[in-house]
């Protein structure tokens, strides 16, 4: 009877433990996962040991630690600098947009004075129409632009006059450019321009 009691108790205890686990919602221990866990722990231990040996080596461990520290600090500094550059760029872009918006309103309200208009026409003509600098002079008077100088071809003279008319702020163009060897055309008087509605 003693043998039965000894043999019976562990069986009952195991059954009770299984039932208690099932009641709690847990399944029994999976016997197949135990070797995987042991292998993972062993691999982690080996990796940690190799890492400690690499950094705590008596001969070159100090150099390796300092090298890793310096590289990490260098990456942090580089990241900080690039973040500052991006922040400055974004700030400059936002400031530029705001100023462009404010200046666009001002431009429509204020007409250009004659000197500014002449400089604007000059710079845009030399850029767009490929007009040779030094051969053409540009003057402005109350929004009317006067072009004077000498050019070889009639097509270039006409194209330059058309380009000048397209520029914002120009009311009219007096194109007095002429080919070499021909007399310069006469400009109209202010009264004639006023009668023409220019």
Give the domain-ending residue among 62, 93, 110.
Answer: 110
Alpha-carbon separation of residue 137 from 88, 126, 127, 156 (angstroms): 42, 11, 15, 15
Residue 190 has pLDDT above 50, yes or no: yes
Domain boundary among the residues 87, 110, 133 is at 110
Q: What is the mean pLDDT of residues 150-174?
A: 88
Q: Which residues are 175's β-sheet partners?
A: 147
Question: What would the two tokens of residue 141 be?
Answer: 């008077």
CA distance 190 to 179: 25
Domain boundary residue among 60, 85, 110?
110
Over residues 122-150, the mean pLDDT reads 83
For residue 26, is pLDDT > 90?
no
pLDDT value for 1 = 42
Looking at the structure, tell me whether residues 171 and 142 fall in a common domain. yes
pLDDT of residue 11: 56
Q: Does the pLDDT at position 128 exceed 90?
A: no
Predicted model pTM: 0.43
Q: How many domains does the chain have?
A: 2
* Whether 74 and 48 share a structural domain: yes
Per-residue pLDDT band for 197 (boundaries 50, 70, 90) equals: low
C-alpha span between 18 and 30 (Å, rounded): 13
Note down the domain range covering 161: 114-196
* Predicted local confidence at residue 87, as pLDDT: 95
CA distances from 9 to 3, 4, 29, 138 (A): 10, 8, 21, 115
DSSP 175: E
């Amino acid at each position: 009877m003693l043998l039965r009691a000894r043999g019976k108790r562990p069986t009952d205890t195991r059954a009770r433990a299984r039932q208690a686990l099932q009641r709690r919602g847990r399944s029994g221990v999976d016997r197949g996962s135990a070797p995987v866990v042991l292998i993972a722990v062993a691999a982690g231990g080996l990796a940690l040991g190799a890492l400690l040996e690499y950094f705590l080596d008596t001969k070159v461990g100090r150099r390796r630690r300092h090298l890793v520290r310096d590289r990490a600090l260098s990456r942090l500094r580089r990241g900080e600098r690039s973040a500052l550059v991006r922040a400055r760029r974004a700030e400059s872009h936002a400031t530029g947009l705001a100023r462009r918006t404010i200046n666009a309103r001002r431009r429509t309200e204020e007409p250009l004075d004659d000197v500014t208009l002449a400089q604007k026409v000059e710079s845009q003509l030399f850029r767009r129409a490929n007009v040779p600098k030094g051969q053409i002079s540009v003057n402005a008077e109350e929004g009317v632009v006067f072009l004077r100088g000498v050019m070889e071809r009639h097509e270039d003279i006409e194209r330059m006059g058309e380009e000048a008319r397209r520029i914002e702020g120009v009311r009219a163009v007096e194109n007095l450019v002429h080919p070499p060897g021909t007399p310069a055309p006469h400009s109209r008087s202010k009264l004639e321009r006023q009668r023409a509605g220019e």
